[in-house]
Amino acid sequence: MGSIELTAVQKSFGDVEVIRPLNLDIEDGEFVVFVGPSGCGKSTLLRLIAGLEDTTAGSISIDGQDATDLPPGKRGLAMVFQSYALYPHMTVRKNIAFPMRMAKIPRQEQAKRIAAAADVLNLTDYLDRRPGQLSGGQRQRVAIGRAIVREPSAFLFDEPLSNLDAALRVGMRLEISELHKRLQTTMIYVTHDQVEAMTMADKIVVLNEGVIEQVGSPLELYRSPRNLFVASFIGSPMMNIIEGEMADSHQASAIGVRPEHLSLSTDSGLWQGKVGVAEHLGSDTFFHVQVEGLPKPLTVRAPGDVELQYQDTVFVTPEKTNLHRFDSSGLRID
């Protein structure tokens, strides 16, 4: 079990309101990602759930029980910190055993669970080392191991991959996803990286300035972003946002179209422009095209083998069905 329900949860530090009153349901077994730019309140929200911060108002219930005033250790949650927060004076074995020791689980059972976790996480050879003798990825696994053995009702991850290099990050991302598939335990994962959010989440919660901008599956967010913020935050490269005359012609104050929904032609099309910088990724090439009358160049995706020269004249045409329209308050118009 691991359903979590936030009702009118609010958090202020002094006069600064970090989390505006919000509601959120997390269902058992879900992989939920809190995503948003730094300072959006995503980590604070996670810490409120963990019990590391007290709520200013509202209530949190875990598995139907009110947990608002429960201490962190009594919430049945496990957390993996950005810094890993391994106990430096303990061996890997003792680090993993620590929560079980606190829970007074019998030694035999402890040994069994440690062995199992070490096996899953490839830590068997390192059990007698100290954290200081491990690489970043290994430390991350130890932190996860320490979380697993508690058999918590939910895992909380606070930007767990941000201290790893790019290659390791992709690998760990997969491992965590696999872990979720196998354990089927609720996971709440905080990141500022929308790629992580898109690739891992069942449900993404986009946060901005302490407010939930949208909640939904990755594809829902991709297909129908509720507002301009979500539209530009989700998707890579960023959605092109066009304001002014061109938007007016679509009865909107702003229109958005993703780079992959623009087609490029050398002889005809809706908007004429000049090729700027090209980013070749091999499979795809992203062209920055300066369309006449627009303040910023548009990003356009083209197949990898399209060859255009700098300053070539091109025509750009948006796919009608994938045009997003937004009103003057930034909300989506359907």
Binding site for other proteins (CB under 8 A): 50-52, 71-74, 77-79, 81, 83, 85-89, 98-99, 102-103, 146, 150
Structure tokens that stand for 24 in this block: 């959120």
Residue 237: asked if its preceding bond is cis (omega within 30°), the reply is yes
Q: What is the CA angle 14-17-22, rounded to 5?
A: 135
Q: Dihedral of CA 81/87/88/94: which sign?
A: negative
When the beta carbons of 30 and 53 are compared against other proteins, the nearer one is 53
Least distance from other proteins to the Cβ atom of residue 158, Å: 9
Q: Dihedral of CA 65/66/68/74: which sign?
A: negative
Least distance from other proteins to the Cβ atom of residue 86, Å: 8
In whole angstroms, what is the distance from residue 155 CA to residue 173 CA?
15
- Pairing of β 16-26 and β 4-13: antiparallel
When the beta carbons of 146 and 332 are compared against other proteins, the nearer one is 146
Least distance from other proteins to the Cβ atom of residue 104, Å: 9
Indicate the SS3 state at residue 207: strand
In whole angstroms, what is the distance from residue 94 CA to residue 115 CA?
12
Least distance from other proteins to the Cβ atom of residue 69, Å: 14
Least distance from other proteins to the Cβ atom of residue 52, Å: 5
When the beta carbons of 74 and 296 are compared against other proteins, the nearer one is 74
